[in-house]
């Protein structure tokens, strides 16, 4: 019986490939992607000419909200659908660890999200033809977007692990993502001593530094921890939900 590390990796890889192809074999990714592209383009270019500056900051500033809708829409099915359809029963009896399931599904939805971000590079070229575009903020902004997508993927996966109903998973994921995205907007409502803490916890605060071209290691640590944290919550949820009780 092959139980080496490579065999374990192979199971996760098989699962990842199946998950990824299921996004692109069904219309889901294309529909969500088209809506996302339309929304980003209209939000960006409707104000772009008003500012009359050759920069992408307006585009990046919409991402924490738009990705908070896009990523849960992609991730809602990850576990909820398997539970609803009964395929979860087969998956859990195959020789795959829950950790591998979590990592493979997370990676699949993350990569899918990044694929859907690719067409927005066109905006960069469009803007670049209108004048000299500073590469720093654009590169920083996309690095931030990659990290942001990872964090939202992990949150969405966790939301999907809580239920067998995809709509519930979507709404839970959406709300969780938006809480992190908008935490800095509501800082005025928070008692003064707690402001720095809530500011540090907010996605908006960390993400805005990326789109200014500043790659702050604390922000990178923040996004990586947020992602790892929700992956651990998902794993914990799967490990403790083997009792077969409802959900």
Partner 1 sequence: MVEFQTIGKDYGDLTALKDISFSIPRGGIVGLLGPNGAGKTTAMRIMTGHMEPSRGTVRIAGEEFTPDSVELKARIGYLPESAPFYGDMMAWDYLMYEAELHGIDARVRVPEVIREVGLESHAHKPIRELSKGYRQRVGLAHTLLHDPELLVLDEPTSGLDPNQIIEVRNLIRKIAETKTVILSTHIMQEVEALCSRVIVIHRGSIRYDGTIAAFSPSSRRIHLSVAGIGFEDLQERLKKINGFHSIAQREIGPDDAGQIEGQTEAGLLNVTVLSDPATDIRPDIFRSAAGKNGFTLYEMVRERTSMEDIFHELTAAEESVNQKGGRP
**Interaction with partner 1 in 128-187: which residues (CB under 8 A)?**
none
Which stretches within the chain are classed as H helix? 5-25, 28-51, 57-75, 77-85, 87-91, 98-117, 121-128, 135-161, 166-182, 195-201, 203-211, 217-240
Is 57 a residue that touches partner 1 (CB under 8 A)? no
Name which position in 5, 191, 193, 244 contacts partner 1 (CB under 8 A).
Answer: 244
How far apart, in whole angstroms, are the C-alpha atoms of residue 200 and residue 144?
16
**Sign of the CA dihedral 209, 214, 141, 72?**
negative
- Indicate which single residue of 26, 42, 167, 225 sits in contact with partner 1 (rule: CB under 8 A): 26
Q: Which residue, 212, 98, 100, 228, is CA-closest to 155?
A: 228
Minimum CB–partner distance for residue 4 and partner 1 (Å)? 9
Quick note: the x/- pattern for partner 1 over 67-106, rule CB under 8 A, is ------------------xxx-xx-xxxxxxx--------
Stretch that binds partner 1, among 4-12, 37-45, 176-184, 204-212 (CB under 8 A): 4-12
CA angle 3, 102, 224 (to 5 degrees): 115
Note the residues at the interface with partner 1 (CB under 8 A).
1-3, 7-8, 10-11, 13-15, 17-18, 22, 25-26, 85-87, 89-90, 92-98, 242-245
């Amino acid at each position: 019986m092959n139980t080496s590390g490579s065999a374990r990796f192979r199971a996760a890889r098989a699962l990842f490939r199946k998950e990824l192809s299921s996004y692109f074999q069904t219309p889901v990714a294309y529909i969500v992607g088209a809506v996302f592209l339309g929304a980003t383009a209209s939000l960006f270019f409707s104000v772009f000419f008003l500012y009359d500056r050759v920069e992408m900051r307006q585009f990046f500033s919409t991402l924490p909200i738009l990705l908070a809708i896009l990523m849960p829409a992609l991730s809602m099915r990850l576990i909820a659908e398997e539970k609803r359809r009964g395929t979860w029963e087969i998956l859990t009896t195959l020789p795959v660890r829950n950790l591998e399931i979590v990592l493979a599904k997370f990676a699949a939805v993350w990569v899918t999200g990044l694929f859907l971000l690719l067409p927005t590079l066109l905006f960069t070229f469009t803007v670049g033809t209108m004048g000299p575009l500073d590469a720093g903020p654009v590169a920083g902004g996309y690095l931030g977007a990659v990290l942001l997508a990872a964090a939202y993927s992990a949150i969405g996966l966790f939301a999907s692990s809580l239920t067998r109903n995809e709509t519930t998973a979507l709404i839970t994921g959406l709300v969780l993502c938006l809480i992190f995205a908008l935490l800095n907007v509501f800082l005025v409502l928070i008692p003064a001593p707690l402001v720095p803490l809530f500011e540090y916890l907010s996605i908006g605060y960390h993400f805005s530094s990326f789109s200014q071209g500043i790659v702050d290691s604390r922000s990178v640590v923040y996004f990586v921890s947020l992602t790892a944290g929700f992956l651990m919550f998902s794993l914990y949820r799967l490990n403790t939900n083997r009792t077969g009780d409802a959900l």
